[in-house]
Every structure is written in C-alpha cells, then in structure tokens.
Chain A
Amino acid sequence: MTGTESDSLDRLSPGVTAVIAALDFEEADRVRLMELGFIPGSSVSCQRVVPMGDLAIFQVEGTQVALRKETAARITLQPSSTTRNPDADSG
C-alpha cells in the first residue's frame, strides 16, 4: 500500500504504520480522539482487524485503541507516510 492524499486510517492494513494528518470531527469528538492519542503528527499502526463487527485495533502513542471503521475513515493520514513494520512503535 502506498500513500495517496485520500488515505484514511480505515484503509491501513494490519502491520502498516503511518502518520496522522488531520481529524475530521466536530470539536468535542476531535479533542477526545486527540486525548486518546490520535494527534496530527503521531504515528499510528494498525494491529489487527476484528472481523466480528467492523472494529480495528490501532497502536498509537503507546496505547492500543479500538475504533470502528466509520470513525477511522474520518482520520486522514499524511501522504507517503506509510511504512510496513509490524512492530513499529510511536516515538
């Protein structure tokens, strides 16, 4: 997978790391997601997709967070920032 401008978090395959560019939410939701680590500039990796339901588990700012696909779709990634590294950690 290579980064394009339209890349969003929901399209990140397991084992791939990228850098967060922006969050498209209303202010309160945006702040909450940032407080949980989804901060523009943070690197995020997809750890696994949970096939039951539409959740994916991400590693961001040292913690594991589960997001629904529809939420992940509104977090955009910096173009060409993706790297394949299953054990990538932020920081």
Chain B
Amino acid sequence: MPTAVEAQTETRQSLPGKNRAVAICGPPNVGKSSFFNRLTGLRQKVANYPGITVEKRVGSLRLKDGGQVDLIDLPGIVGMHPRSEDERICVEILRGRSDTLPRPVAAILLLDSTNLQAHLRMVPGILGLGLPTLVVLNMADELEARGGSVDVEAVSAQIGAPVVLASAVTGTGMKEVLRFVQGSFAPPRKVELPVINNIPAERKWAHSVAARSSYHTPEPSLWGRRLDRAFLHPVAGPLIFLAVVIAVFQSIFTLAVPLMDAVESAISVSAGWIGALLPDSMLKGLLLDGVWGGVGSVVVFLPQILILFLFIGLLEDSGYLARAAVIADRSMRSVGLEGRSFIPLLSSYACAIPAVMAARTIENQRDRLATLLIAPLTTCSARLPVYALLIAAFIPERPLLGPFLGTRAAVLLGLYAAGFFAACGTAWLLKSIVLKSKPAPFVLQLPAYRWPTICSLAFRLIDRAKIFLRRAGTVILVTTIVLWFLASVPYQDGEPPPIGESLAGSIGRTIEPLVEPLGLNWKIGIGLITSLAAREVIVGTLGTIYGMEADEGSPALQQALQSELSFGGAIALLMYFAFAMQCMSTVAIVRRETGGWKWPAIQFAYMLVLAYATGFAAYRVFG
C-alpha cells in the first residue's frame, strides 16, 4: 500500500544510542492501547475511558537489524494544557522534562480517522514540539465500514509530516508504522501551522485541512444512538445497570464452580504425587502443608478473579462504563464528589493500588485526596477469595430470584454494596468537614461503543492471572513458609508440637482477647496478622493451620471453619474484611501519593475502627 511515509524517508537521520524511545500519544479513546498491543505484544490495559491509562507503559520492539526501540504508551491528552496529573506526565515526557524517562526521539500521534476534523486539532501542538512525528489515522476499518474516506497524501502535504491510515484491529497500515519506528525519522517539514494554543484558530485550520483532503465524514453509527437510548433511559437505564451488576456477581459463583473444582483437584492430585515421592521429613511437611496447602488454597480462587476481570474488561472496552458513570453521577454528586471519581472507584474493585494512582486524573486536589482515601473501602479482588470461602462455608445456596440470583451471590452483592456505601459515606464526611471545595465544571466524554476484541480481553486476563499468581508465588508463599515455621517450633521430643503449643499458637493466644469480641478465635487472629501483607493470605494461613492440625488427611477448609466459627463470627469476619485496610501495599502507595504518613495513618485507623465496630455489632446481632 503506498503511503505518505515513503515520501518522508528520504531525509534519513542516523541516531546514536541503542535504546531509542518512541512515544505514542493522542486523545483518549482512539484505540491507543490496542495499537500498542499490536506493536509490542506486551501486556497492556486497554481502556475505553478517558484517563484510565495513568501509568506510562513501555514496551520494547526488536528490530530486524538486532536493535531495539522502546515504545512509550502515554496517557491520553486533549490538548497541550495539562490539568490532571496524568496529562502533566504525558506533556512532560513529550517535552523531555521527565526525570525518569529520556526525551523520545520520535512521536506517533494516534488520531481517530472517523472524527478527523476534531482530532486534527491536536496536530499543531504535537508537531510544535519539533520531534519527528508520524500521524496515524486509526480505525480505518470503521471509517470504511461507515462510508467515510480521506486522501492521506493530501493530509500529509498540508501538515508536513508523514500520515498513515491504519487499523490496530485489522492490522492495516501497521507495516508502515513499523517502518517509521525502525528509524527513518525526519523532523517535521516547515509548513504554515496555526498559532499554537489558539484553539479556535486550530479548529478552523483542522476543518480546512480535512476539507482539502477530501475527507468524507462517515455516517454516524445508528446502533450507538439506539444503545444510548436504552442505557441512559430514565427507567430502563438504572435497571439495566442493576441487571448487569447482578449478572456479574451470579456468574462469579455459577460459572466459576467447575473451573475451581478442576484447579482444586489438580492441587490435591499433585499433592498426592509429591507425598508419594518424598520420604517423611521436615521438608515434606513444609512442601505439603506449608506450600501446597497454603498457596494452593489461594490459587483455587483464580477462576473467580478472572471471571470478575473478564466482565470489567467487557464493560470498559465496550464503552458502557462511561454511560454507567453518567447514571452514577447523581449519587456521586450527593456525596460531594464529581462523577469522575467514579472511575478510580470502579477500578478499585480490581485493586486499590491502581485506583489510588488513577485518582491523578482528578483535577481538583481535594477531590483527588478524598477519592484516594475512600478507594480502599470498595471491594478489591483480594477480598474475593476471603468472601468466597466464608460464604461457601456459611451461607446455604437457595434461589432468591428464580435462577437469576441465589443467596450466595446476594450476600456477595451485599458485601460489595456495603463497601460502596461505606466509601460514599466517608466521602460525604470528608467533603463536608475537612476537604470542602468549589466544584469544577463536570465534563465527561462518552466514547463510541465498540466490540471488545478477544485480543484485548485476553491481554487483560493474562495480565491479571500473572499478577495474582506472582502474589501467590511471592507474598503469599513467604508468609505461608514463615507461618509454617512458627507453627512447627519448638520441637517436642523430636516432633513438631500441636499447633496450640507452637510459637504461632502462643502469638495467637496473646492477641486472642482482641479478636474475641468479634467471635473469632486465636487461629483466625493469626490470619488477621498475616493477612496484613495481603488480604487473601488469610486463606492460605488458615489452609496451613488447619492442614497441619488434621491427622487423617486434610479436611476441606470449609468444614474446618464451620466447626471453628459461629455464624455470627463468620459475619463479623466478613465485616472486618469489608472495612479494614488489610493491605500494606495500599498504605505504601497512599503514603507516596500524599507525600507523607499523615493521611495513610488516619485512613488506616479510621478503617480499623469501622471494621472492628461493625464486626462487633455483627457478632452481637447474629452470634
């Protein structure tokens, strides 16, 4: 395919240094992340929402000549006037003012070819940086499907930089992009560009460039409008939102069951093999009870976590999430936050750490602080294994709404709701007492609806599985091994002691008075301490403790819990995990983002009090 790239490659520039960086920038929702995935194949979060790619992502590209190019995926920007933290990062890197990244040697400006007039407005600002720039008009497939067209050569001639019509989905034009990245960089040719930062002039210029490039605007997508009619309908909209949420929670239990059974039997079968292979020794005990029992009991929850992320990915990539934010705006507003806080809060359902960082997209500093303080109250995926274990052990499954909603899914939904309302209530407290501020104008771009691609969903799930298994292999493994040793000493007559007389046991008994008011015993108390490292560690801890206690094979963890905990105690434990800040990584990231220990300390204490008080109340009521 002939493109404007070739015309530009004549003025070659040889570039020294082995790791050249090329920045990928552009407005939000132009498929930047898919484009990045296509080029590097590296795991990358694809978002269909402004401002979700908060962290810069770097992927390397091996070249045929053996060299290497670093590609930096920058957060979306709508202009050269950064307001939020992530936009600032983007502009800093492009200007070469970042402390952590060298100035890129070239830039790829990614624009949406289906909305060319509006997006060409970005060109003068980016070309004004003086970097060799390739302008990629993405979504060529959609442009064509909706009857639009553009003369790429004409655009290139007018802006003085190479232009490629491409599609990250179908792969059209990617060869030309690669050729650019391979090093044929030429600085932009001098052409008449409108005065940078005069937005009305830039708009006029962009419209005229589009007109002189025989740009044919594609037909508006009709089904997008129809979907909006349903999703934003005053009655149907909130009902659809509710139905979607219920479907997600129900499938976390129903769809995951066969997968979890498979993982569980794989672990117990392999434990049997190891048991048969190894002679009786302390090492065997460590491997079987400590590692296999502890880590295995956490890994079982991988299917549920992946199903949760599959749904989050579908909602985000399809564009539905922005509509949900519109529906949620009213409730966000009633607690004093803007609708935009909804996005970091939503990503905190995955994990509070990216959510705390995503709060950088909030322009108002007080709103940003309020958002990152309440983020750990929403139900992160690390709580899911704890909830799932306790619910399966204590809540009998009965249909509530026919086949659509069972008691277990309903309790899980209730726990998620409890976290959400605690977050909202706390936000309201914060905003009406310590963090009052004048509201900024609320503006939210609604991205076009798109079919989520299997590729981008797969990237997300692989990414999540890696993170989960890495945690299982590091934090959880280490705490499990340490705990196993504490539970195995001091030896009595050359034998490991009963767990109650071990070092772990005496630590547990020391703190027992503290957890007793919640209806919990010292074994659970040990779990509360170890799970400060990460919430799901408690499952591994209990797996280790109960695994070691059992003489005749290891009983299912659920049965062990049923005999140890009363119903009230189980509910109290659920409440404790719903509200306590049982995650040192979150404490660390809040310290980093707020620049001191003050806010994380307040946050930790507040959440602990909330957790203890609700746990105590729950035990009184249900115990």
Contacts and interface: CB of A to CB of B under 8 A. Distances in A.
Interface string A35-67: 111011110000110111101010001111111
Nearest to B79: A35
B210 A57 contact: no
B330 A52 contact: yes
Contact of A71 (B83, B210, B442): B442
A13 interface: no
B69 interface: no
Given A33-B441, A66-B446, A39 B330 contact: no
Given A57-B232, A91-B217, A31 B203 contact: no
B1 interface: no
Contacts of B443: 32-33, 36, 65-67, 71
Nearest to B50: A36
Given A32-B83, A61-B117, A87-B220, A52 B238 contact: yes
A71 B115 CA distance: 25
B503 interface: no
B445 A64 contact: yes
A39 B81 contact: no
A87 B225 CA distance: 10
A81 to B, nearest CB: 16
B217 A89 contact: yes
Interface in B223-254: 225, 228-229, 232, 234, 237-238
Contacts of B81: 28, 31-32, 35
B475 interface: no
Main secondary structure of the interface of B (DSSP, over half): helix
A62 B115 contact: yes
B118 interface: yes
B118 A68 contact: no
Interface in B312-336: 326-327, 329-330, 333
Interface string B71-88: 000000011010100000
Nearest to B204: A41
Interface in B501-537: none
Interface string B93-128: 000000000000000000000110111000000000
A34 interface: yes
A63 B224 CA distance: 12
Contact of A39 (B203, B217, B329): B203
Nearest to B84: A32
B444 interface: yes
A55 B329 contact: yes
Contact of A66 (B79, B83, B118, B444): B444
B284 interface: no
A83 interface: no
Given A35-B78, A52-B327, A63-B115, A68 B204 contact: no
B199 A91 contact: no
A25 B228 CA distance: 29
Q: Which of A35, A40, A57 has the most CB of B within 10 A?
A: A35
Contacts of A89: 217, 220
A47 to B, nearest CB: 7
B203 A42 contact: yes
Contacts of A52: 234, 237-238, 327, 330
B228 A63 contact: no
B197 to A, nearest CB: 9
Contacts of B238: 52
B38 interface: no
Given A71-B441, A89-B220, A41 B203 contact: yes
Contacts of A29: 440-441
Interface residues of A, number: 36
Given A39-B203, A89-B217, A62 B232 contact: no
Contacts of B119: 62
Given A35-B81, A48-B228, A52-B234, A63 B118 contact: yes
A48 B115 CA distance: 21
B403 interface: no
A91 B443 CA distance: 22
Q: Which of A36, A39, A53, A74 has the most CB of B within 10 A?
A: A53
Nearest to B234: A51
Contacts of A48: 228-229, 232
Contacts of B330: 52-53
Contacts of B229: 48
Contact of A35 (B199, B333, B442, B448): B199
A50 B232 contact: yes
A31 B199 contact: yes
Contact of B79 (A31, A51, A57, A64): A31
Contacts of B442: 55, 66-68, 71
Interface string B418-445: 0000000000000000000000111111
Contact of B446 (A25, A51, A62, A64): A64
A38 B341 CA distance: 23
Contacts of B210: 91
Nearest to A34: B199
Contacts of A28: 81, 83
Contacts of A31: 79, 81, 199
20 contacts: A28-B81, A33-B443, A35-B78, A35-B79, A36-B78, A39-B203, A48-B228, A48-B232, A52-B237, A52-B327, A55-B329, A55-B442, A61-B115, A61-B203, A64-B228, A64-B448, A66-B329, A67-B441, A87-B220, A91-B117
Interface of B: 78-79, 81, 83, 114-115, 117-119, 199-200, 203-204, 207, 210, 217, 220, 225, 228-229, 232, 234, 237-238, 326-327, 329-330, 333, 339, 440-446, 448
Given A28-B81, A31-B81, 13 more contacts: A25-B441, A28-B83, A37-B118, A50-B234, A53-B326, A53-B333, A61-B117, A62-B114, A64-B228, A64-B448, A65-B444, A66-B339, A71-B442
Sorted from nearest, which 10 A-B pairs have the closest CB atoms?
A53-B330, A35-B79, A62-B115, A61-B118, A64-B446, A71-B441, A35-B78, A51-B234, A34-B199, A62-B118
